[in-house]
Amino acid sequence: MMTRRHAIKATATAAGCFAATLKAFSVQAGGVLLGRANPANQVLAGASHDPFSLPPLPYAFDALEPYIDAQTMEIHHGKHHAAYVANLNKAVSEVPELGLKSIEELLRNLDAVPEKVRVAIRNHGGGHYNHSLFWQMMKKDGGGEPKGELAAAIDRHFGSFSSFKDRFAETAVKVFGSGWAWLALGPGGKLTVEPTPNQDTPLSMGRQPLLGLDVWEHAYYLKYQNRRADYISAWFNVVNWDFVTERYASLKS
């Protein structure tokens, strides 16, 4: 016999599953596609009732060689990011209606998340969100400098691209322990360079991440060991400025 409680749970699960299917097609962050609507994503969503799924890496594991090695990318995406997704889904299963919200909605208003899962959503949801962006913020044959409006805004806020780069690198070097360095867009079009600890994201502080650098040791230790500064300067060679520029354009309007 199906009790009322079971019926509610079944409905919530079905709704979560529907939301997952929708998300696979259109996970958006301010108009910018976070996940890619591709067959691999649809298979992931179709095979699971979990509301959140691991987006496929948008390039091969070795695409960022020699700056970021293939083994690091494979473990980073397939183990670390996958674990954030699994733990996020586990937390959401305790409060199924959260599965109807996008990851952006959850992180933008953590105070609205029930206390019993708030830390888990902050850490694992943040991990899922940050990494989903991070993969897109890099590409094969990346690097160089931004163009157009973003280049002008960087000059305006930081003096020049080169002083922005120095400031970003210094912020990333100085993160104590595990965390991220960000270029973020705040109210009134203000650009900031800022660190976050753990998997915290500028999104939870009212700013949109434009560019982020993961400085957890899992992001670089196999190739760079303790030489985080070397990883940071190498990483600038794989930055996908086209993605960052488009993201800036769509978020600032």
Q: Which residue lies nearer to Mn ion by CB, 81 or 139?
A: 81
Q: CA-CA distances (angstroms) from residue 32 to 2, 4, 36, 95, 133?
A: 42, 40, 10, 27, 10
Q: By C-beta, is 158 or 182 nearer to Mn ion?
A: 182
- The answer to whether 217 and 2 are in contact (CB under 8 A) is no
Give 45 or 219: the residue with its C-beta nearer to Mn ion. 219
Q: Which residue is nearest to Mn ion (CB)?
A: 214
Least gap, CB of 218 to Mn ion (angstroms):
5
Q: Which stretch binds Mn ion (CB under 5 A): 52-60, 168-176, 210-218, 228-236?
A: 210-218
Residues 89-128 that bind Mn ion (CB under 5 A): none
How many other β-carbons are positioned within 10 Å of the β-carbon of residue 230? 13
Closest CA relative to residue 91, chosen from 62, 43, 49, 124? 124
Compare residues 99 and 126 and give the one whose CB is closer to Mn ion.
Answer: 126
CB of 132 to Mn ion, least distance (A): 11
Q: 141 is written with which tokens? A: 């044959």
Q: Which of 72, 214, 238, 247 binds Mn ion (CB under 5 A)?
A: 214
Q: How far is CA 238 from the centre of its chain?
A: 16
Q: How many CB atoms lie within 10 A of CB 231?
A: 23
CB 179 within 8 A of CB 169: no
User: Closer to Mn ion at the Cβ: 59 or 216?
Assistant: 216
Size of the site for Mn ion (CB under 5 A): 3
CB 172 within 8 A of CB 213: yes
In SS3 terms, 37-56 reads as CCHHHHHHHHCCCCCCCCCC
- Count of H-run helices and E-run strands, the chain: 12, 5
Report the residue number, 73 or 113, with the smaller CB distance to Mn ion.
73
CB of 72 to Mn ion, least distance (A): 10
Q: How far is the CB of 81 from Mn ion (least distance, A)?
A: 7
Rounded to the nearest whole angstrom, what is the least distance from the CB of residue 106 to Mn ion in the complex?
19
Listed ranges 34-42, 141-149, 206-214, 231-239: which one lies at the site for Mn ion (CB under 5 A): 206-214
How many Cα atoms are found within 13 Å in the side-chain-facing hemisphere of 111? 2
Q: Could you tell me the smallest distance in angstroms from the CB atom of residue 84 to Mn ion? A: 8
Closer residue to Mn ion (CB): 134 or 243 = 134
Instruction: Choose one: 45-53, 145-153, 166-174, 218-226; the region binding Mn ion (CB under 5 A).
Output: 218-226
Q: How far is the CB of 80 from Mn ion (least distance, A)?
A: 5
- In this structure, what are the phi and psi dihedrals at residue 156, rounded to the nearest 5 degrees? -65, -40
**Using CB under 5 A as the criterion, which residues of the chain lie in contact with Mn ion when the complex forms?**
214, 216, 219
